[in-house]
Amino acid sequence: MKGNNSSLGLDINRVFMFVIFAACFLAASAMPAFGVSVALHTSTADLQPEWSPAGQTVSYTVELCNTGNNGDEPVDEIRIYKNENYGGFLDASACDDIAGWEKTFINYKKACHYIAEGSDNYINPGFCKTFGFHADTPSSGCEMMWKFETRDITETWLAIYDSTGIDNLDPVITKEVEGPQSDNCPPDQGETCWMSQETKIHVYVVDATGECDPPSLVKYCDFSYTLDGIPEEAWTVQADANGEVHETIMFDEDSEHILTIICYDNANNSITDVETFKVDDTPPVTTKKFNGPQKLLPTPEGIVEWIDGVTTVELIASDPDPTGFDCNIGVDKTLYINVLAKEYGDVDEKSCWEPKDNCQPVIREPDTECVMEMQIFCEEEMRYTKDSPEWVTCVEQKIYEECMGCYDGPMWKIYNGTPIEKEEESCHILQFYSIDELGNEEDTNVNCFFVDKTPPTGYKDIGDPNIPCEPMGEEPYCDGTPEPESCSVYTPDQCSAIPGCDWFVDEDRVCVGEPEPDACRVYTEEQCINTPFGSIVGCYWDHSIGCIGTPNAPCDVIQYEGENFGFQDKCTETPGCYWETVTHDEYCTGEPDSCEAAANNWPADPQGKCEETKGCDWVEPPTEECYWVQDHVTEINLTCIDEGMHPSGDEEVC
């Protein structure tokens, strides 16, 4: 908003020049003062600031220049007229004192009037003079014209103009975060954005457009940040030709950065933006731990490792914080894959025997950016809850399909915290690594170890004298010699054998009571399904269990149906036993031919019948090798040798 003015000369060239200027700069054209037809000088006015905030007392400066050529007249008086849109400007105090110039105030013109005190203070052609004043800005307004007048020593007045505008809107700061990021990016006031050292923060600043379009435009922005609470760097970025500020920021230290941006427009409106960025460029660290039997043997070729089939492998991941200011975002996931060395060309299993030079990754890891995208896909597109079993399965499958390129090997797995079981006896190659929530990825770890499930073979040398015990591996048997009248153990009657029934011996031979549940279990197969009196009602035979069920009749009925069956038969079936009836008493008497016969005639419970028979004992043959030796004389030597495919050694005799 500049005004340029021209005076008319006495020759035709100056007249022609004035016409051109008048046509091109109509709003700020040179205008002779009232009653003056010819200007013998040309002047311009440059009013600053061009833009002001609303409702404030603002100090302005106007640079008045005598733009004439040599031979034109010098300027010795100037006037500054009040713009009626502005407040204040009521007397001479509204204008600054200028050394060498007398200042008065023309009330009816509402103008400050300056007169040069001597020719040394004239504004000669080609020179300028700056004058100052202050006024109260209105609430709004665009291109509001201020009038100035210059008079040369020929008393020729020239009116010139320049304008100001009101801009009461703050600049607008917009940020875009490009690259690895997490949480609130870009952050609002009081929020935190996590980023890595390769992440870029793009800052765009423009001036808000209100009544005046275009507005005053951005002038400059001050940038600064602290590093862990200590001021680190500050710089200023001037607006470009379009009145905008564009700046890209990267932080090259892992730590907490508090970024402060203060931007000003040409009306001195400002905006301050303070945001926190935590930078984490440090990848996680994952270690392996064996839970259970294990052996680690240092050798010149590296540490050879063995575990048992019951041993599990635990992966422990942590996200280190080298700053000490909690700038570790945390582990997002651990990926692992396990293969057998022999399946990948290592038939001699040197990966495990000589790990220092041969334990190397054999499966490439998936692309990390792709892995992060697959996580988002399974969570947002498939709507699986993060870390749920369905989400884990989805991510593993998508990694296999989308992130491995041309690949048909085993699938990378997400470690869920459950120790990994390794059962197959072989040399295992375990690859694993972790990724934090920013995508920082550690180098792949590889561990080669044997799974050895084969125990050592034990050897025993028994010296003399020694006598072997009973032969090993035989079935248990009933041993001994039955005592006389041992058949008496078979005299319990059918009634008393039924749980819940009692036998009363009198002339009526009555069995009383009610059978208990599952009382059928006391019957043999014949009693259960094929007695001379028919089967016991309510009982049935199961070939794997025996006689099951509950009799459906009272004890007296059951006793009548199977009165003498079973006990008499069992008695007479036992060699050496016979059934005897004396008046109302019947019983089994005699002596079995052998304890073995006594047991074998009761196949449902041979051990019980053996132990009931007087003079008989139930023998359990030894299951291990057994010798009789002479104390302090017979020498016994025990040795064991680990003879498996992957012997770990260190055999011990216990």
- Kindly state whether residues 357 and 271 are assigned to the same domain: no
- Kindly state whether residues 50 and 118 are assigned to the same domain: yes
Given pLDDT bands bounded at 50, 70 and 90, which one contains residue 599? confident
Is the per-residue pLDDT at 498 higher than 50? no
Query: Tokens in use for 210?
Result: 């209100």
Given pLDDT bands bounded at 50, 70 and 90, which one contains residue 58? very high
Is the per-residue pLDDT at 27 higher than 60? no
Q: How far is CA 239 from CA 32, 209, 422, in A?
A: 39, 16, 65
Q: How far is CA 192 from the centre of its chain?
A: 17
> What is the percent of the chain with per-residue pLDDT over 70, rounded to a whole number?
77
Given pLDDT bands bounded at 50, 70 and 90, which one contains residue 604? low
pLDDT of residue 390: 96
Predicted confidence (pLDDT) per residue in 434-454, tens digit: 999 999 999 999 999 999 988
Residue 633 domain-assigned?
Answer: no
pLDDT of residue 340: 95
Predicted confidence (pLDDT) per residue in 289-299, tens digit: 999 999 999 99
pLDDT of residue 118: 93
Among 261, 279, 297, the domain-final residue is 279
- Kindly state whether residues 316 and 418 are assigned to the same domain: yes
- Kindly state whether residues 158 and 303 are assigned to the same domain: no
- Kindly state whether residues 295 and 220 are assigned to the same domain: no
Least confident of 89-103, 498-512, 582-596: 498-512
Given pLDDT bands bounded at 50, 70 and 90, which one contains residue 591? low
Given pLDDT bands bounded at 50, 70 and 90, which one contains residue 472? low
Better-scored residue on pLDDT, 23 or 114: 114
Better-scored residue on pLDDT, 576 or 135: 135
Better-scored residue on pLDDT, 71 or 369: 369
Amino acid present at 364: R
pLDDT of residue 564: 39
Better-scored residue on pLDDT, 178 or 549: 178
- Kindly state whether residues 102 and 195 are assigned to the same domain: no
Given pLDDT bands bounded at 50, 70 and 90, which one contains residue 371? very high
Is the per-residue pLDDT at 622 higher than 90? no
pLDDT of residue 208: 94
pLDDT of residue 470: 62
Rounded average pLDDT over 575-596: 56
3-state secondary structure 357-368: HHCCCCCCCCCH
pLDDT of residue 365: 93
- Kindly state whether residues 609 and 527 are assigned to the same domain: yes
The count of domains in the chain is 4
Q: How far is the first Cα of the chain from the last one, in angstroms, to the nearest whole number?
A: 103
Q: Can you name the residues that pair with 314 across neighbouring β-strands?
A: 289
Is the CB of residue 631 less than 8 Å from the CB of residue 466?
no
Q: Rounded CA gap, 355 and 449, in Å?
A: 9
Among 279, 295, 312, the domain-final residue is 279
DSSP helix/strand/coil, 546: strand
* DSSP annotation string for 251-296: --SSSEEEEEEEEEETT--EEEEEEEEEE--PPPEEEEEEESSEEE
Cβ neighbours of residue 143 closer than 8 Å, sequence gap 6 or more: 1, 163, 165, 212
pLDDT of residue 471: 59
- Kindly state whether residues 84 and 151 are assigned to the same domain: yes
Q: How far is CA 367 from CA 253, 404, 439, 440, 445, in A?
A: 25, 7, 11, 12, 16
- Kindly state whether residues 157 and 180 are assigned to the same domain: no
Is the CB of residue 264 less than 8 Å from the CB of residue 171?
yes
Is the CB of residue 497 less than 8 Å from the CB of residue 603?
no
Residue 447 domain-assigned?
Answer: yes
Is the per-residue pLDDT at 282 higher than 50? yes
Among 137, 166, 195, the domain-final residue is 166
Which helix (H) or strand (E) segment holds residue 588: the answer is strand 585-590
Q: What mean pLDDT, rounded, does the chain reach?
A: 82
Q: Rounded CA gap, 83 and 1, in Å?
A: 15
Q: Rounded CA gap, 184 and 191, in Å?
A: 7
CATH number for 271: 2.60.40.1930
Is the CB of residue 100 less than 8 Å from the CB of residue 129?
no
Q: Rounded CA gap, 541 and 523, in Å?
A: 10
Given pLDDT bands bounded at 50, 70 and 90, which one contains residue 495? very low
Better-scored residue on pLDDT, 566 or 223: 223
Q: Rounded CA gap, 496 and 490, in Å?
A: 12
Which one, of 475, 477, 479, 517, lies nearest residue 500 by Cα?
517
Is the per-residue pLDDT at 34 higher than 50? no
Q: Rounded CA gap, 396 and 366, in Å?
A: 11
Residue 274 domain-assigned?
Answer: yes
pLDDT of residue 346: 94
Residue 95 domain-assigned?
Answer: yes
- Kindly state whether residues 79 and 112 are assigned to the same domain: yes
Residue 24 domain-assigned?
Answer: yes
Residue 508 domain-assigned?
Answer: yes
- Kindly state whether residues 109 and 178 are assigned to the same domain: no
Residue 298 domain-assigned?
Answer: yes
CATH number for 57: 2.60.40.680
Sheet holding 3-4, edge to edge: 3-4, 43-48, 57-66, 127-136
Is the per-residue pLDDT at 25 higher than 80? no
Q: Rounded CA gap, 327 and 319, in Å?
A: 10
Which helix (H) or strand (E) segment holds residue 561: the answer is helix 555-561
Predicted confidence (pLDDT) per residue in 556-569, tens digit: 444 434 443 344 44
DSSP helix/strand/coil, 201: strand
Is the per-residue pLDDT at 15 higher than 90? no
Better-scored residue on pLDDT, 167 or 23: 167
Helical residues (DSSP H) of 51-194, grouped into ranges? none
Predicted confidence (pLDDT) per residue in 521-551, tens digit: 777 777 676 544 445 667 777 877 777 777 6
Rounded average pLDDT over 37-65: 90
Q: Rounded CA gap, 12 and 441, in Å?
A: 82
Domain containing residue 295: 285-365+412-451
DSSP helix/strand/coil, 557: helix
> pTM for the full model?
0.61
Q: Can you name the residues that pair with 164 across neighbouring β-strands?
A: 144
Predicted confidence (pLDDT) per residue in 387-425, tens digit: 999 999 999 999 999 999 888 899 999 999 999 998 889
Amino acid present at 450: F
- Kindly state whether residues 300 and 347 are assigned to the same domain: yes
Residue 387 domain-assigned?
Answer: no
Q: Rounded CA gap, 609 and 629, in Å?
A: 34
Q: Rounded CA gap, 18 and 281, in Å?
A: 68
Q: Rounded CA gap, 160 and 172, in Å?
A: 35
Is the per-residue pLDDT at 458 higher than 60? yes
Is the per-residue pLDDT at 587 higher than 70? no
Query: Tokens in use for 418?
Result: 């459950």
